[in-house]
A and B are shown apart, each in its own frame.
Chain A
Amino acid sequence: MSREQLARRQAALIAALHGTGPVPDGFDERLVRAAADALARKRAGAVAMHWPQLRHEFGPKWTDEFRRWAVGRVGHGALRDGWDFARTYVDRLGEGARLELAEREVVWRYDGVRPPRRRWAPALRRVGRTVLVQIGGRVLRLGRARV
């Protein structure tokens, strides 16, 4: 197996583990699927640490909900995975998780494709009766948050 072949086969294995490609020939399908599942759990745990309010919102269903969503999606690290997940389910989220999301949205510009970049301009988001304002990188909460 040449270096190029090795690179291709490693990429194919990662795709299988992310659920974006088939299990490559010769591998034990059951075991690779078990590893894919373990990876999704691990991603759920890492996202939970970056997005505590989001995780809190789903309670004991968190790991299963996140795994269901994560299979078939290439991971981009806990910050972005949680961000994408939160945006997908924003309508289902309570105030705590929506504030957590909004706080990041006012500080960072994130198009869902490229890594988030810090905003240079002020930004504003409204969550229920709370308004989040970012000026010069600082976030102000106006109004009462009912967390």
Chain B
Amino acid sequence: MVPHGVRLSLGGADPVEPARVAHLADCAVLTGAPLVSEHIAFVRAGGTEAGHLLPVPRTWDAIEAIVDNVRRTQAELPVPLALEPIAALFDWPDAELTEAEFLIEILDRTDAQLLLDVANVYANARNRGTDPVALLDQLPLERVAYVHVAGGSERDDGLYHDTHRHAVPVEVLELVRELCMRRRPPALLLERDGAYPPAPELAAELDAIADAAGVERITA
């Protein structure tokens, strides 16, 4: 069990709230978790909750803020922290680094692990017309703690939304295969937040992920 995503707002301009960090640390102890994970995102600013994981600008100043928050968090945690890059429909203007450079800089300076969400990689690439596999080739795959896999769908706005409420598309499974051909992560996890399908459908989805990853099925 891995406590995940407690709205730390690591990408926020403000320092992380100590109570939230303490809560995450308590969760890690209570569940005997080997690690915890949080998003590289901000979720509040100026006292207002966004209600959503929002992207941070890929700038050196933003890196400073994130690294500071990650270090503050790590100092209170009894276990390692893995960071997850999010899916975002838009980017901040005036990026100073590429996505990969930005992530590597944060990971290097904090010694955090990477929680790689292949569905996020897919969604970002598809909505920007870039190559998701190219990003895999640029990321430090040896630092991947585990992998998220999720479904989504294209809405009338022509954008692919990482909903966690739809089936995992074949393109995401293909990305699982591409990733595992390069380096197989310690574990993969299917994210589903609602509109749950019947058990056989869910089992088939887990099998498809295991098959794509080249690991043993867990549903038998």
Partner of B89, one of A31, A43, A74, A75: A31
Please tell me the size bucket of the interface on A. 35 or more
Given the complex of chains A and B, what is the CA–CA distance between A4 and B194 in angstroms? 38
Tell me, yes or no, whether A61 is within 8 Å of chain B by CB: no
Residues of chain B at interface, number, CB under 8 A: 30
Contacts of A142 on B, CB cut-off 8 Å?
none
Contacts of B49 on A, CB cut-off 8 Å?
75-77
Min distance, Cβ A11 to any Cβ of chain B, angstroms: 4
Tell me, yes or no, whether A131 is within 8 Å of chain B by CB: no
Tell me, yes or no, whether B208 is within 8 Å of chain A by CB: no
Given the complex of chains A and B, what is the CA–CA distance between A34 and B155 in angstroms? 10
Tell me, yes or no, whether A90 is within 8 Å of chain B by CB: no
Q: Is the CB of B59 within 8 A of A1?
A: yes
Contacts of A15 on B, CB cut-off 8 Å?
48
| B50-58, B76-84, B99-107, B177-185 - interface stretch | B50-58
Q: Is the CB of A6 within 8 A of B52?
A: no
Q: Is the CB of B54 within 8 A of A6?
A: no
- Which residues of chain A from 71 to 96 have any CB-CB distance to chain B below 8 Å in the complex? 74-77
- Which residues of chain B from 27 to 67 have any CB-CB distance to chain A below 8 Å in the complex? 42, 44-46, 48-52, 54, 57, 59, 61-62, 64-65
Q: Is the CB of A14 within 8 A of B89?
A: no
Q: Is the CB of B93 within 8 A of A74?
A: no
The answer to whether A38 and B89 touch (CB under 8 A), given A17-B52, A75-B49, is yes
Closest 9 pairs between A and B when the two form their complex, measured CB to CB: A26-B93, A7-B13, A31-B90, A10-B45, A11-B46, A6-B13, A11-B45, A35-B89, A75-B51
